[in-house]
């Protein structure tokens, strides 16, 4: 999916850019994946799980799922060449009855939370998903992640379900996830 990079000003007054991921981002994305998994329990994988991924696996992931796709996009937010976070969406399923739906995910390095970067990334992803012909975006968010839920609701996502005990952490505790969607 082609798009022109955009610039925006974060809440700290500094200029940022959102651009499509490239194969050359694989090494930084792998490092990012490993670091952010230690900064929050809001992500899918436990930190030790991220270490099984290799640079070659990350390159293949980008190449096969996102690069040159008409139904997926991987967006990177950066400032002065430094990766701040990313947001991606992809078709939920290739079956005809599901092709109107896309799943979206987002994460930032903790130090960039609260600066409007996530909102800028999601706003751009929502626009691109609509241009790609999707009719709704879907996501899952930990039910105790009030900051993320507020962000999603501010952008028009609505709650449609609750998945009790959706996540089980390595320490044996559980978390539920709220299911949300945004009609496009």
Neighbouring CB atoms inside 10 A of 157's CB total 24
Say what the pLDDT of residue 6 is.
95
pTM to 2 decimals? 0.93
Say what the pLDDT of residue 95 is.
95
Say what the pLDDT of residue 45 is.
86
Helices 117-131 and 146-154: angle between axes, nearest 10 degrees = 50
Say what the pLDDT of residue 68 is.
86
Mean pLDDT, consecutive 10-residue stretches, the chain (184 aa), reads 90 97 95 92 87 93 92 96 96 95 96 97 97 97 97 98 96 97 98
Tell me the domain boundaries of the chain: 6-138
Say what the pLDDT of residue 1 is.
74
**6-138 CATH pick, 3.30.1330.50, 3.30.565.10, 1.10.10.10, 3.40.630.30:** 3.40.630.30
């Amino acid at each position: 999916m082609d798009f022109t990079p955009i610039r925006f000003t974060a809440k700290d007054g500094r200029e940022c850019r959102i651009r499509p991921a490239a194969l050359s981002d694989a090494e930084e994305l792998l490092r990012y994946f490993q670091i952010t998994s230690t900064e929050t329990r809001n992500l899918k994988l436990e930190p030790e799980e991220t270490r099984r991924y290799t640079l070659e696996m990350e390159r293949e992931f980008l190449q096969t799922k996102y690069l040159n796709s008409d139904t997926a996009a991987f967006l990177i937010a950066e400032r002065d060449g430094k990766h701040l976070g990313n947001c991606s969406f992809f078709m939920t399923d290739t079956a005809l009855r599901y092709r109107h739906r896309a799943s979206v995910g987002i994460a930032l390095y903790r130090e960039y939370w609260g600066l409007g970067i996530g909102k800028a990334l999601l706003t751009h992803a929502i626009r691109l998903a609509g241009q790609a012909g999707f009719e709704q975006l879907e996501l899952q968010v930990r039910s105790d992640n009030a900051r993320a839920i507020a962000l999603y609701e501010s952008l028009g996502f609505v709650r449609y379900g609750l998945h009790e005990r959706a996540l089980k952490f390595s320490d044996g505790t559980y978390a539920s996830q709220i299911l949300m969607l945004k009609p496009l």
